[in-house]
């Protein structure tokens, strides 16, 4: 089975979720509606809804209940993407601040707030008290992760532990919450809920590490942004941390700054790729994928489990 098959099996329900996302973003404020739908239409892999659906399939799967959870999780992800874009864009796009840029940013910020609040409004449809706590805890961690990312920018002396903690907060916990909340919504027995939670956590770690590797190994066309863009923005990821084990290369990498000459950056990226940093990062990624696999061992052998394994494989092998 490959991941396209998973998407095709889930297609009907993913379409329901897509429709529901559109519905909830149909705000009665035209400006808000336009701004929200803009982000929705940008698309995405809908990884979080997929994990919600698959986790729910281990219990009393009912798309009417489960769709709310999937929608809420995707909205949180959207809101965090929107807030990620705020401020940076207006500067790089326009060079200098205009009233329009300022307003655009404010609108984006409040669109993010609105979407975040919508997600919480939607999750209240779940009676399970614990579900609300999981969701708000996850958002707290997400925002702490974002702040740590800002703090750690261009900090070439940060530790690998620091990196792991950051991606846990920024990515892995939300995928873990997707699995757990999908399971809660379908009344999956609690010992299996726990396994699914950790499955999501490890899968999420692998997902982010893969993303961080692709920033170096993929192409501008596939990434939709320049290769090495993370590094240019000061995000010190796992491959960079491994590459910096070489003091001489570390010294070069430490010269990276926002307005660096593209050729110079390209040169540094090549030096990083020529080390064993990518290979080492892949090893760590594989370790997380294996941990995720292990979590599945207590789950019943069925098509859903096969689909989860396929998704893991997709995370490990994807090249976009």
In the complex, minimum distance from the CB of residue 231 to a second copy, in angstroms, rounded to a whole number? 16
Cβ neighbours of 274 (radius 10 Å): 11
Q: What SS3 state is found at 260?
A: coil
Residue from 83, 170, 180, 195 binding a second copy (CB under 8 A):
83
Return d(Cα 229, Cα 281) in angstroms, integer.
18
Give the sign of the dihedral formed by CA 276, CA 279, CA 284, CA 285: positive
Residue from 22, 26, 60, 88 binding a second copy (CB under 8 A):
88
> Residue 146 or 276: which CB sits closer to a second copy?
146
In the complex, minimum distance from the CB of residue 272 to a second copy, in angstroms, rounded to a whole number? 23
* Structure tokens belonging to residue 41: 């239409």
**Does residue 27 interact with a second copy by CB under 8 A?**
yes
**Does residue 148 interact with a second copy by CB under 8 A?**
yes
Cα angle value 216/172/10 (rounded, 5°) = 95
- Give yes or no for a contact between 315 and 204, defined as CB atoms under 8 angstroms apart: no
In the complex, minimum distance from the CB of residue 113 to a second copy, in angstroms, rounded to a whole number? 4
In the complex, minimum distance from the CB of residue 134 to a second copy, in angstroms, rounded to a whole number? 9
Residue from 2, 22, 45, 97 binding a second copy (CB under 8 A):
97
Conformational region of residue 200, where left means phi above 0, alpha means psi within -120 to 50, and beta covers everything else: alpha
* Structure tokens belonging to residue 289: 């994928």
In the complex, minimum distance from the CB of residue 124 to a second copy, in angstroms, rounded to a whole number? 4
**Does residue 87 interact with a second copy by CB under 8 A?**
yes
Q: What SS3 state is found at 53?
A: helix
Binding segment for a second copy (CB under 8 A), chosen from 41-49, 110-118, 245-253, 293-301, is 110-118
Cα 63 from chain centre = 23
Binding mask 113-142 for a second copy (x = CB under 8 A): xx-xxx-xx--x--x-x--xx-xxx-xx-x
Among 207, 202, 191, CA closest to 77: 207
> Residue 138 or 304: which CB sits closer to a second copy?
138
Residue from 41, 42, 150, 263 binding a second copy (CB under 8 A):
150
> Residue 127 or 303: which CB sits closer to a second copy?
127
Return d(Cα 244, Cα 250) in angstroms, integer.
4
Give the sign of the dihedral formed by CA 215, CA 45, CA 181, CA 206: negative
Residue from 7, 16, 18, 146 binding a second copy (CB under 8 A):
146
* Structure tokens belonging to residue 67: 């769709």
Positions that interact with a second copy (CB under 8 A): 27-29, 31-32, 35, 83, 86-88, 91, 96-97, 99, 102-103, 105-107, 109-114, 116-118, 120-121, 124, 127, 129, 132-133, 135-137, 139-140, 142-144, 146-148, 150-151, 153, 258
């Amino acid at each position: 089975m490959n991941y396209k098959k998973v998407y095709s099996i889930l297609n009907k329900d993913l379409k329901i979720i897509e429709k529901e996302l559109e519905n909830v973003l149909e705000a009665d404020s035209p400006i808000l509606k336009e701004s929200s739908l803009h982000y929705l239409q940008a698309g995405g892999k809908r990884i979080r809804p997929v994990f919600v659906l698959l986790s729910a399939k281990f219990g009393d799967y009912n798309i009417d209940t489960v769709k709310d959870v999937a929608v809420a999780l995707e909205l949180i992800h959207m809101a965090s993407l929107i807030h990620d874009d705020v401020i940076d864009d207006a500067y790089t796009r326009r060079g200098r601040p205009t009233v329009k840029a300022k307003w655009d940013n404010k609108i984006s910020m409040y669109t993010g707030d609105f979407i975040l609040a919508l997600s919480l409004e939607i999750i209240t449809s779940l009676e399970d008290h614990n579900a609300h706590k999981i969701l708000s805890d996850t958002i707290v961690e997400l925002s702490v992760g974002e702040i740590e990312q800002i703090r750690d920018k261009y900090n070439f002396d940060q530790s690998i532990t620091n990196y792991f903690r950051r991606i846990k907060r920024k990515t892995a916990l939300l995928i873990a919450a997707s699995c757990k909340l999908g399971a809660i919504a379908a009344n999956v027995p609690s010992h299996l809920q726990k396994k699914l939670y950790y499955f999501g956590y490890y899968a999420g770690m692998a997902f982010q590490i893969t993303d961080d590797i692709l920033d170096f190994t993929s192409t501008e066309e596939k990434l939709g942004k320049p290769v090495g863009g993370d590094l240019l923005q000061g995000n010190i990821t796992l491959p960079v941390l491994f590459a910096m084990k070489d003091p001489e290369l570390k010294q070069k990498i430490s010269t990276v700054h926002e307005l660096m000459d593209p050729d110079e950056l390209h040169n540094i990226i090549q030096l990083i790729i020529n080390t064993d940093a990518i290979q080492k990062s892949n090893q760590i990624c594989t370790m997380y994928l294996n941990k995720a696999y292990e979590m599945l061992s207590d789950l019943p052998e069925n098509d859903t489990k096969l689909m989860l394994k396929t998704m893991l494989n997709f995370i490990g092998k994807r090249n976009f």
